[in-house]
Amino acid sequence: MAMASMTNSLWFFSIQLLLSFAMVYGKVPSIIVFGDSSVDAGNNNYIPTIARSNFEPYGRDFNGGHPTGRFCNGKIAPDFISQAFGLKGAIPAYLDPAYSILDFATGVTFASAGTGYDNATSNVLSVIPLWKELEYYKDFQTKLRTSLGDGKANDIIKESLYLISVGTNDFLENYYAVPGRSSQYTVTEYENFLIGIAGNFTKALYDLGARKISLGGLPPMGCMPLERTGNLMGGSECVDSYNNLAAEFNSKLNDLVIKQNKELNGMDMVFSDPYGIMLDIVQKPAFYGFEVTGVACCATGMFEMGYACSRTNPFTCSDADKYVFWDSFHPTEKTNSIVANRVVQTTLAKFMI
């Protein structure tokens, strides 16, 4: 019993030292993440939904071959961003019972694969809506204060870097896929509806103490293998209309960032845009060391993701590093690394100073 108590005390002391070091030397003591499958490390494993990836071949290149619930063969962007900031190399999911509040103090993701800004998007696959992610964050704050005290907890909350990556599902899994929103809104009206929700969300984070926020944009979603597979008339090339929509929506997100930085005292929000680097990778794959862009590594690479991306499928590639996409919707670990590093070197670099 005494040994267990001593071990817990040493663990707590180690966490305190790590946090103190990060506060003094690193500016950012923790990476806190919200969004969809692009940044979900496994929260969906613990809710009743089919939007899961906690089985092989997902995770086959993650720490020796461990499927965690990340929609990737390995690490996702927040893991690389955390590492770049001198923090841990893998950010855990908040709902994973294997981790404690002391683990989450240096990085945590509340993200849920399949979600969107729009509550109706999360209903499509019965996943965690964005407002619920915020409720989990409030719960995290309460536990953080209980464990570390108000002073240390408030420092972490203020100095942490908050990553938001969401929006693709609102268009591809909701607006263009199921009846409802497309009969209520034109696509431009729907964009503006989502921008309103995004603004309310970042304002809510600000009100809860967040100051350093990275609002992520949409990728060139017309270049996802799933969309290219359906573009038979266009020779299975990227769907320009979806790419143009993503670029237009990103411009509105950037305007929101500028607006709130002016309106909210102390707000230091940046717009992190994956669009340019992703499109460059797709258009010039050899430059980045890729061989295949039009289809994904998993299964046939044309339409499979989630449970359709089965470990028994004989078509799954042997070397994911040759592919831009892991499944028909999500990038490989190598692509995530390149995109994350580009964002760190440009948009997020200011938070390292």
- Between CA 344 and CA 346 the distance in angstroms is 6
3-class SS of residue 148: helix
Edge-to-edge strands of the sheet including 107-109? Answer: 107-109, 31-35, 161-165, 212-216, 268-272
Q: How, if at all, do strands 31-35 and 268-272 pair?
A: unpaired
- 61-67-71-75 Cα dihedral, nearest 10 degrees: -40
- In order of 173, 192, 199, 254, the CA distances from 196 in angstroms are 20, 6, 5, 13
Catalytic (active-site) positions:
37, 327, 330
From the CB of residue 326, how many other CB atoms can be counted at a distance below 10 Å? 33
Closest by CA to 35, choosing from 161, 97, 128, 142, is 128
Please count the CA atoms within 13 angstroms of the CA of 12 that sit on its side-chain side: 10
Going through the chain in order, the beta strands assigned E by DSSP cover 31-35, 107-109, 161-165, 212-216, 268-272
